[in-house]
Structure 1
Amino acid sequence: MQAEAVLAGLDPEQRAVAEATRGPVCVLAGAGTGKTRAITHRIAYATLTGVVTPQRVLAVTFTTRAAGELRSRLRALGAPGVQARTFHAAALRQLSYFWPKVVGGDPPKIIESKIGLVRDAARECGIRESDPSKLRDIASEIEWAKVTQHRPEDYMDAASRAGRRPSTDVVEVARVYAEYDRLRRERNLLDFEGMLELTVAILHDEPQVLRQVRDQYRFFVVDEFQDVNPLQKMLLDTWLGDRDDLCVVGDPNQTIYSFTGATSSYLLDFTKEHEAAKVVRLVRDYRSTPQVVRLANEVIGRARGDAAKRHKLELVAQREDGPDPVFSEYGDDVSEVADIAQRCRKLIEEGVPAREIAILFRINAQSARIEEALSGAGVPYVLRGAERFFERPEVREAVVRLRGAARAGGDAELDGLGLIQTVRHVLMGAGLTDAPPEGAGAARSRWESLAALGQLAEDMAVDNPSAGLADFVAELEERAAAQHAPTLEGVTLASLHATKGLEWDAVFVMGLTDGMVPIKYAETPEQVEEERRLLYVGVTRARAHLHLSWALSRDPGGDRYRQPSRFLDGLTSKTGTPVPARVDRAASRRTRRSGPQPCRVCGRPLTAAIEQKLGRCEDCPAELNEEVLLALKDWRARTAEERREPAFVIFTDSTLQAIAERAPSSLDELARIPGVGRVKLDRFGSDVLSLLGGR
């Protein structure tokens, strides 16, 4: 690829980033403005113009997924030799390489989780803590202390100055911290923070090692610079030395990890440290519709504090108009999740892929009810962060099968079939079928994993038509090493903190009440403002459809003591000056008028999604004509085969059971059954009524 070709298609600001190949560069990049595109094209342009060789470049980011994405894009741009890693991966690579030469003996074992060692340390201190959340809290405090360079003896003073309020008394945290460090040294263990510290120590203590590292890496790019902590900054400064070929990229509006020790001050004060730095602002939002961008600007535009005013980034939408954001108020959590599940079902019926829908919440404990509601509505979902994709048994089995087929010359053995057909043939041996199993259990999860591998093969074949099975296996192994999982076919459930760098066509942000967003633990003005930025991150994940909601009580019939999040003040007609958005109160009005739907047999309020669909308690007797249900299932199977769609897309089992029980005699009656919807009514209503009428 020619150097000028790399610049083609960049907007003026992105091009300015790409052409700034020497000296310090600070890129203030708003959400959806193409920062990854800008920095990868900058690296490629620098290598193609001879400014630097790919092997001399170190691109640092914060997640293995982001690092994998950088490497993939750089390969496509003609810079395959660039090292793109997380801080920890880069440090571990250097430590592993130099340890035998400068220290000798067995290197310390890296521990991925502090919990086990924290538990042992607590016991040694006479603290028998069995609550996992308390242990996690202590581990978080130790991590914060280490990244901010505070030792056990000064932890209490530092925590007090920082306004930290751990659930465990700071005196006990300090005692456990000291014992944790003692046990770690005694057992020759190293945590992630210690790994960075040890790398810095070796570089400072061994001049020949430092010279070798600085000779290796001369051109640095650091993404998400607003999330750098003091320990990471110390390592970066050690790598850099007195040189200035450093490009940092970040968005002060997306600073959401201060509680871990990260600080945006390094980004905001970059020009103070590097007076000759070139500053480029990326504000053209290519991700979201003008309606979503307008709301995002309104949310962050109310931010308080000097830093927010000095470094304000107001996004400018580049896409065509889309639907207005919707604000929904519900009487209780059950009503909220049930309606969200139905809205997801409707979007899928209208053609939005399930993988392009996300439901976001503040804390992981909020996921249980939405999982139940989605299962009841027949909507597949993926819980982000629950399990690493490449560690799933079915994925490991599939990779072994694919690797074996590649070694045996799988492409040739399958009579010259293309990559897609070859991979699909192998995956069928692992259990992949043309249509997914019904429901949302383990069988469906296994199918989704295998289908994701098949989709990855299709993507690779499009990008590289000459790719073979060996190339695909190599791609899988690189992704596994970087934990760069493919996209699964299901609605994504994720905490707001877990969504950085991600985007979807449709986003639901649920549970927006005071005490949740902002979280009740946010007491200082700085902590409250970070919660505002967290909401901003959630809003800016949406490309087109955006739904923000809250419930006034936890359970049906409970006291309505909750208030909408203060961050929504002025954003809806309920709370002040409206923006182009609408408040959907239909569900709330229904709840206030009649409460939860009653069981048609015993009259008890129905709270579970499956019960609401059936119109009765699961254990209440029902008049069910088994012949009708079998006839409906036979019709669904024929229709699914004709339309070449999964059976559950036509109607789920629970919807068919509800139809068989209720025996609707008109389209209006059929439409009242949850899970039918307007689209399905138009497509299948007449067929269903005709079938029922013939019985």
Structure 2
Amino acid sequence: MFKLEENFRSTRHILDASNAVISFDPSRIEKRLFTRRGEGLPIEVLGFSYATEEAAAIIREIGRRAATGVAWHDMAIIYRQNRLSRTLEEALLHARIPYEIIGDVGFYRRTAVKDALALLTLCAWPDERRSDEAFRRMANRPPRGLGARGLGKIEMEASTGGLSLCAAATRTRLSPRCAVALQGFVQILRQIGCREGESLGERLTGLLEATGYLDMLRADDSDEAATQRENLAELIELAQGFRRVEHLLEHAALAGGAPGEKGRDRVQLMTMHRSKGLEFRHVFLPAWEEAIFPGAMPRNPEEERRLAYVALTRAMEQATITFCDYRQGGSSRPSRFIDEIPLENRVSSWNHGRNEPRQSDGRWRQVDQELNALGL
């Protein structure tokens, strides 16, 4: 057996931290990576109260490093679950930092999120033509027996009577099964739309439950369905911060309108699975919390550990781990993987000034000016 133990990518602090984490995997063939790239910088481990605070801090640090000469494409944010990108995307957009999501689409372009926003649109304006596209999207999700021919009949009824598709659906002659299902769907929309005293998050939860959408996802045990449920939980939490449907839809349209066209010089966002084989000078690893990574009941605990190893070793020069005390309305605690990193290989602060090129006071004033111009 020949062990390939020399790592040509990362510095010693990063490799020592990675070796320590993966050493707890009992199925791994024993080997210890080494590097000739020098000691480098210790792993930055920082805690925050909330996800918005965490995202703002990461994006400000990205802006600071860019102002000192680090290219956007040399920095990456790598997370365990794709729903975690939402707060990061919004912070990047606010700061006007170009970014690209690798192997995925922006939060507001994901199927479950678009479906949920369509339900809210139908609930708010069932008798207005602006809800027609939402009806086309959701009338048969989950399946209610409505095919292209049935939808065509509804379209004709709406055109003849000057009605919205939602209103026309209950007046159109369809097969008995489809007619009953659509009448029930429209009734749910109208009943929930008339409720008073509910928050927007509660209304959205009610729509997803009553229409059978969540049951459809629960019946699917695939990873994709689980991811869609996570995205919906993130959207429900976001909706709690809005009082009116139109305000949430406007926010989604603005935030989802430009997730960053593909280009050479952009900050890279991706899941840990997508990061395999890639490398970046600076890597940010948010949400290292027990509820998320490795998760409350991981299907394969050792696979989670290997992902931690992969995520850390994507970094060539600097790796930053962050966690929050509260996320999605619940308390959380730091990931066990953080405790497994030796104290000599991590610091509980930014590595500002450590082994960085010395800058004159004038240069740092310029950095501050550039950060302000970025909105950071």
Equivalence map 1:338-417=2 (5 Å): 338-386=56-104
| CA displacement at 1:362 relative to structure 2 | 0.6
Of 292, 304, 308, the match for 2:14: 292
In the superposition, relative to structure 1, how do residues 329 and 318 fare at CA in structure 2: closer, same or farther (>3 Å)?
same
Match of 1:502 in 2: 278
Q: How many angstroms does 1:383 deviate by?
A: 0.3
CA shift, 1:528, in A, is 1.0
Kept in 2: contact 1:378–1:440 (CA 8 A): no
Moved over 4 A (4+): 439-446, 677-680, 683-686
- Counterpart Cα distance in 2 of 1:370 and 1:497: 18
3-state DSSP of counterpart to 2:3 = strand
1:295-318 residue CA offsets vs partner (Å, 9 max, x unmatched): 111111222x2x22xx12210112
**2:256 is the counterpart of 1:534:** no
Residue number in structure 2 paired with 1:319: 37
Give the unaligned 5+ runs of structure 1. 1-278, 388-438, 450-487, 572-576, 587-676, 689-695
The normalised TM-score by structure 2 is 0.52
Sequence identity, in percent? 28
Classify 1:442/1:553 alpha carbon distance in 2 versus 1 (closer, same or farther; 3 Å).
Answer: closer
Q: Which amino acid in 1 is paired with 2:278?
A: L
Structure 2 SS opposite 1:501: coil
TM-aligned CA distance change 1:328 to 1:529, over 3 Å: same
How far residue 520 of structure 1 moved from its aligned partner, in angstroms, is 2.6
Cα distance in 2, alignment partners of residues 683 and 543 from structure 1: 24
Unaligned runs of 5+ in 2: 106-253, 352-360
Q: CA deviation at 1:492?
A: 0.6
Contact in 2 for aligned 1:354/1:491 (Cα 8 Å) = yes
| Alignment partner, residue 562 of structure 1 | 332
Q: Are 1:547 and 2:323 matched, yes or no?
A: no
- 2-structure distance, mates of 1:443, 1:301: 42
Do the aligned residues in 1 keep the contact of 2:12 with 2:35 (CA within 8 Å)? yes
Alignment check: 8 A CA contact 2:18 2:309 kept: yes
Change (3 A) 1:348 1:441: farther
Aligned with 1:546: secondary structure? strand
Letter matched to residue 540 of structure 1? T
Paired with 2:48 and 2:318, the residues of 1 have a C-alpha distance of 19
For 2:321 and 2:39, the matched residues in 1 are separated by 19
Q: Give 1:358 shift.
A: 0.6
- Residue 175 of structure 1 corresponds to none
Q: Confirm whether residue 521 of structure 1 aligns to residue 243 of structure 2.
A: no
Q: Which residue in the other structure is 1:582 paired with?
A: 347
Deviations 1:327-355 (A, max 9, x none): 00001111101100011111111111111
Structure 2 counterpart SS, 1:563: coil
Secondary structure of 1:489's partner? coil
SS of equivalent residue, structure 2 residue 104? coil
- Retained in 1: the 8 A contact 2:289–2:332? yes
Quick one: which amino acid aligns to residue 682 of structure 1?
Q
Which whole-Å CA distance do the structure 2 matches of 1:550 and 1:374 have between them?
Answer: 18
How far apart are the structure 2 equivalents of 1:347 and 1:331?
A: 23
Match of 2:366 among 682, 688, 694: 682
- Amino acid aligned to 1:535: A
The amino acid of 1:290's aligned partner reads R
Aligned-residue offset at 1:507: 0.3
* Inter-CA distance 316–442: structure 2 relative to 1 (3 Å threshold): same
What secondary structure is seen at the aligned counterpart in 2 of 1:516? helix
The one-letter amino acid of 1:377's match is A
1:302 aligns with 2:20: no
- Matched with 1:489 is 265
8 Å CA contact 2:21, 2:309 repeated in 1? yes
Once residues 255 and 62 of structure 2 are traced to their aligned partners in structure 1, the CA distance between those partners, rounded to angstroms, is 15
Deviation per CA, 1:15-65, whole angstroms, max 9, x where unpaired?
A: xxxxxxxxxxxxxxxxxxxxxxxxxxxxxxxxxxxxxxxxxxxxxxxxxxx
Structure of higher RCO (CA pairs closer than 8 Å, 6+ residues apart): 2
Q: Distance in 2 between matches of 1:443 and 1:360?
A: 20
Q: Which residue of 2 aligns with 1:604?
A: none
Question: What letter corresponds to residue 365 of structure 2 in structure 1?
Answer: L
Residue 516 of structure 1: how far off its partner (Å): 0.9
Q: Is the 8 A contact 1:512 1:548 kept in 2?
A: yes
Distance in 2 (alpha carbons) for counterparts of 1:517 and 1:293:
20
Deviations 1:466-494 (A, max 9, x none): xxxxxxxxxxxxxxxxxxxxxx3211100
Compared CA separation, residues 679 and 441, structure 1 to 2 (3 A): farther
Distance, in Å, in 1 between the alignment partners of 2:255 and 2:98 is 6
- Matched residue type, 1:568: I
**Residues 571-603 of structure 1 deviation map (CA, whole Å, 9 limit, x = unaligned):** 2xxxxx6223101299xxxxxxxxxxxxxxxxx
Question: Does the 8 Å CA contact 2:21/2:340 hold for their aligned counterparts?
Answer: no
Task: Compute the displacement of 1:552 (Å).
Answer: 0.8
Q: Residues 329 and 585 of structure 1 are in contact (CA less than 8 Å); yes or no, is this contact kept in structure 2?
A: no
Q: CA deviation at 1:684?
A: 7.4
Distance 2:305 2:290 in 1: 12
Aligned residue for 1:281? 3
How far residue 554 of structure 1 moved from its aligned partner, in angstroms, is: 1.9
Work out the CA distance in 2 between the residues paired with 1:443 and 1:326.
30
Q: In structure 2, how many angstroms separate the alpha carbons of the residues matched to 1:563 and 1:375?
A: 28
**8 Å contact kept, 1:330–1:585:** no
Partner SS for 1:285? coil
RMSD: 3.0
Give CA deviations for 1:489-509 in whole Å, capped at 9, x if unaligned. Answer: 211100001111100000011
Distance of 1:444 and 1:331 partners within structure 2: 26
Aligned amino acid, residue 341 of structure 1:
I
Shift of 1:294: 1.1
Structure 2 match to 1:467: none
* Structure 1 residues 317 and 678: CA distance shift in structure 2, 3 A: farther
Partner of 2:45, secondary structure, is: strand
The two structures have a TM-score, normalised by structure 1, of 0.29
**What is the distance in 2 between the residues matched to 1:496 and 1:440?**
23
Is the contact between residue 295 and residue 579 of structure 1 (CA under 8 Å) also seen in structure 2? Answer: no
Distance 1:331 1:381, change over 3 A: same
Q: Is the 8 A contact 1:513 1:562 kept in 2?
A: yes
> Which residue identity does 1:339 align to in structure 2?
A
Query: Structure 1 residues 685 and 296, CA, compared in 2 at 3 Å: closer, same or farther?
Result: closer
Q: Name which one, 1 or 2, has greater alpha-carbon Rg.
A: 1
> Within 2, Cα distance between the matches of 1:533 and 1:540?
11
8 Å CA contact 2:8, 2:37 repeated in 1: yes
Q: Classify the secondary structure of the residue corresponding to 1:282.
A: coil
